[in-house]
Amino acid sequence: MENAIRADFILDGLHCAHCAEKITREVAKLEYVNESSMNFVAKKLSVYMNKNDIKDNNVSEIARTIHNTENGITVKMNANKAMAETHFDNKGNILNAASEKSEEASIRADFILEGLD
């Protein structure tokens, strides 16, 4: 994972360890995801991807995977060095265009998932 970038997803309202495990497992199945891990206490899902895989369609697919795994979640990605702040509808579609910002090796993406029960 030499060129891997970590994207951190913060899952607000996550109360179920089993739900957290399901989300982690489903996101890990995505073709461009090298690894995913969950810190349940911190409610943080860390996803490692290659630098060139952090783009709109993959971010949208991660949000869609989360929605398909646990319905009723609101997903927002905070601005980071790779992409602008991005909002998603309840199907994981991007509501505003995310844009690439930097080619730096260290990029952190924060995703806030609200309403996960």
Contact 100, 83 (CB under 8 A): yes
Amino acid at the residue 63: A
Using CA atoms, how far apart are residues 45 and 66, in angstroms rounded to an integer? 11
Using CA atoms, how far apart are residues 24 and 66, in angstroms rounded to an integer? 9
For 109, the domain range is 4-114
Q: Give me the pLDDT at residue 93, please.
A: 84
Count up the domains in the chain and report the number: 1
| Average pLDDT over all residues of the chain | 75
**How are the residues of the chain apportioned to helix, strand and coil, as percentages rounded to the nearest 5?**
25, 35, 40
Contact 53, 18 (CB under 8 A): no
pLDDT digits (tens, 9 = 90+) for 28-67: 999 999 999 988 888 788 888 888 888 888 988 988 888 8
Amino acid at the residue 58: N
pLDDT digits (tens, 9 = 90+) for 78-104: 665 667 776 777 787 888 754 444 333
Read off the CATH number of the domain in which 33 is found: 3.30.70.100
